[in-house]
Amino acid sequence: MDGYHLNHLQELEAESIYVIREVAAQFERPVLLFSGGKDSIVMFHLARKAFWPAKVPFPLLHIDTGHNFPETLEFRDRLMEKTGAKCIVRYVQDTIDAGKVVEETGPGASRNVLQTVTLLDAIEEFKFDAAMGGGRRDEEKARAKERFFSHRDVFGQWDPKNQRPELWNLFNGRKKLGEHFRVFPLSNWTEMDVWQYIYMENIEIPSLYFTHEREVFLRDGVWLATAPFMELKEGEVPVKKRVRCRTIGDITNTGLTLSEANSVLDIIKEVAATRTTERGARADDKRSETSMEDRKKEGYF
C-alpha cells in the first residue's frame, strides 16, 4: 500500500458529498427529502459536511402522511433545532381534504401511494428543481438501474427506457422549464454501509431503531404496530413484543423485527447475520413484485 488509501465508507462518503455539492451548484432550488429514516438522516449529515462551516444551502422537505410513528416526528423536530436547519412539512391529510386523492379504506389501507401527489404538489408550490432522496440501488430490483441524477418530466414521471447515460462523475442536470430531477446521493450504499457509517460517524438516530416494547399484531407473516387508525382483521390479536424497526415508514406498512438490539453495534451484528432484505419488511412492496417500479413511474421515487 502506498498510504493513499480510503476505506469503502470514506470513498462512499466522498462520492455522496460530491453529488450533493453538484446539486447545490447545478440547481436553483434544490430540496432534501427527509423522512426521518436512517437514510435521510445520513444524507442530511453528509449535506452538513459538504457545506460546513456554512449552513446547508437548501431546505428539507418532509411529506407527513399522518401515519407516522410519534418518535419519528419528535426526532425530526429535535434534529432541526439542534442543527438550525429548515424543514418544510406538507401533509397528505391536506391533499385528501382538498379532494385531490381518495383514501384507501379497510385493513391494509396505506397512504404510501398518496404521498406522491402531496410531494409533487410541494415541488410545484416551491418550484423545487431537484429533490434529493435517500434511495439506494440495493434496496430493490427496480432501483438497480436508477441514476444519481434521475430526470423527471413535467408530470414528475420517470421513464425507465429514456434515462440519460451517466458517465464518470459528470452529472447532467440540464432540464427544460417545469421539469425536475430526483437525485440519489446514496445510490451506491447498501444497508450495511449505512449502519457502519452511522457507527463510524456516531450519528444520532430515532429510538425506533433500537429494541423497545410495543403492542403489535401479525399480518401475512409481518409484525405491525397497533395504532388508532390501524384496522385489525378478524383473528388478528394485539400482543406485546420486544421489537425494533429496520426501516422507518408509516405505521401502516412498517414491519417490525423481533429483536433485542439496543446499540448500533448490535444492529450491525444483526444485519450481518440476517437473511432478509430490508424491504421484505415492508408490507407495501409485497403487493406486487413490481410495485416499486409502478410507484416510481408515478413520481414517488
Partner 1 sequence: MSDLIEGYLNMELLRFTTAGSVDDGKSTLIGRLLYDSKAIFEDQLEAIERASERAGSDEVNLALLTDGLRAEREQGITIDVAYRYFATPKRKFIIADTPGHVQYTRNMVTGASTANVAVILVDARHGVLEQTIRHSYIASLLQIPHLIVTVNKMDLVNFDEKVFEDIKDQFRKLAGKLEIKDVRFVPISAKYGDNVVKRSENMPWYEGPTLMYLLETIHISSDWNHTIMRFPVQYVIRPQSDKYHDFRGYAGRIASGVFKPGDKVTVLPSGLTTRIKTIEMMEKQLDKAFAPMSVLMTLEDDIDISRGDMIVGENKAPQVGDEIEIMLCWLNETPMRLGGKYYLKHTTNDLRCLVQDVEYKVDINTLDKIHGDKSVGLNEIAKVKLRTTKPLYYDSYRTNRVTGSLILIDEATNNTVGAGMIV
The three cell numbers of residue 155 are 408530470
Which of the ranges 65-73, 106-114, 195-203, 212-220 carries the binding residues for partner 1, by CB under 8 A?
A: 195-203
Please, which residue, 9 or 73, has the CB nearer to partner 1?
Answer: 9
> Residues of 226-247 as b/e, b for ≥16 C-beta within 10 angstroms?
eeeebeeeeeeeeeebebbbbb
Which of the ranges 34-42, 59-67, 116-124, 183-191 carries the binding residues for partner 1, by CB under 8 A?
A: 183-191
Q: Where are the alpha helices (DSSP H) in 145-241?
A: 191-201
For residues 107 and 114, give the distance between their C-alpha atoms in angstroms, rounded to a whole number: 16
Please, which residue, 127 or 141, has the CB nearer to partner 1?
Answer: 141
CA angle at residue 169 from 164 to 174, to 5 degrees?
45
Please, which residue, 93 or 277, has the CB nearer to partner 1?
Answer: 277
For residues 264 and 281, give the distance between their C-alpha atoms in angstroms, rounded to a whole number: 19
> CA of 140: how far to CAs of 154, 285, 286, in Å?
25, 9, 11
Candidate residues 97, 98, 178, 192; the one interacting with partner 1 per rule CB under 8 A: 192
Phi–psi pair at 130, nearest 5 degrees: -150, 125
The three cell numbers of residue 200 are 463510524
Instruction: Give yes or no for residue 289 binding partner 1 (CB under 8 A).
Output: yes
Q: How far is the CB of 300 from partner 1 (least distance, A)?
A: 16
Using CB under 8 A, which residues numbered 38 to 97 contact partner 1? 48-55
For residues 71 and 65, give the distance between their C-alpha atoms in angstroms, rounded to a whole number: 14
Candidate residues 83, 172, 226, 262; the one interacting with partner 1 per rule CB under 8 A: 172
For residues 148 and 41, give the distance between their C-alpha atoms in angstroms, rounded to a whole number: 18
Instruction: Give yes or no for residue 168 binding partner 1 (CB under 8 A).
Output: yes
Instruction: Give yes or no for residue 157 binding partner 1 (CB under 8 A).
Output: no
Q: How far is the CB of 229 from partner 1 (least distance, A)?
A: 27
Residues forming contacts to partner 1 in the complex (CB under 8 A) are 1-2, 4-15, 17-18, 21-22, 24-25, 48-55, 137-138, 141-142, 144-145, 160-161, 163-170, 172, 174-176, 187-188, 190, 192-193, 196, 199-200, 265, 268-269, 272, 274-277, 280, 289-290, 293
